[in-house]
Structure 1
Amino acid sequence: MGSDELRIGTAEREEAARLLADHFGMGRITPDEYETRVTDAYAAITLGDLRPLFRDLPQPHPGFFGAPPMSTPIPMAVYAPPTMQLPAYAADPYAPPAPMPYAPSMPVPYSPRSKTVAGVLQIVLPFGIGRFYTGQTGLGLLQLFAVLCTGIGVLWPIIDGIVLLVNGGMDAEGRPLRP
């Protein structure tokens, strides 16, 4: 029995439909073609039913189709002498790349706003003014509402101001406040 006669399951049908959606999103197939191909993918019973849906499309194809054919297979012995041990990824050209052990992070720019000013505003004017200063208007409005509705709500902005002074915080765009 050839591989095209192998039966497929729901997982394979859904992978094919997801990849067809990717091709549709990239503009490779029209909406009508997409609808027809997805309908055919969900109606497929064997691998042979799915192959024609991807025949005229570039990669990616479903992984269960197997590795794409190489034009001329080149043995790895050409590149490495038999005494040299190849890394694990060299044995399988379709294996995913090994993860980097350490990826340096990009420095995050500081906000033009100061944590000291934000904290002092929160403590001196406990109506959420420090949060308005940092650009977090939603949180500032919540604190203002809590203070106006309940007298005890004034503790929230004061405690928030102390936390801003000690730990700093973020502005509305997610940048850390200047020291």
Structure 2
Amino acid sequence: MTGYGSGGYPYGGDGSIPPAAGSANLPQPYSQPYRNPMPYVPPYQQPVYVQPQYGQPSPYAAPMPYSPYGQAAVPGALYGVDPLTGIPLSDKSKSTAGLLQLFFGGFGVGRLYLGHTGIGVAQLMLTLFGLITTLFIVGGFILFGVGVWILIDAIMIFTGSVRDSNGRVLR
């Protein structure tokens, strides 16, 4: 029994002495310095958002060089930049793309005009599949779904939620 002398008494009760410090019965002191298992982490601070003034570029956009004529001289921005975000403008028109999508969206013309060939071909193929299967009841549901898709897509183009195939904002 560790920690007790002969006869079951604690060390010193019957005159026996405890084992030496180098004995295997005692725990050894730490050989390495103490390290905190939970390092200090500073508390989270909410970032401060700065509201840009109307007509001014966003404070989070990269600074842009300006020409002496007052228009942004950004390489690759042939049609200027968006004044709020600093993103180059597209050569495609928002109203043209929206009207094409609204009137000829069943054939994917609005999306093909913007350069989104995958979506344009999908709209065309679904319209053709719906027209072919109108002899069955299934075709009517497919054409209704494509019509809703085209209407929502045209609204998104008119509101500026859609960009061209290069990621530029529509004019």
What's the TM-score, normalizing by structure 2? 0.42
What's the TM-score, normalizing by structure 1? 0.40
Structure with max Cα Rg: 2
Higher relative contact order structure (alpha carbons within 8 Å, sequence separation ≥ 6)? 1
| Structure showing the higher helix proportion among its residues | 1
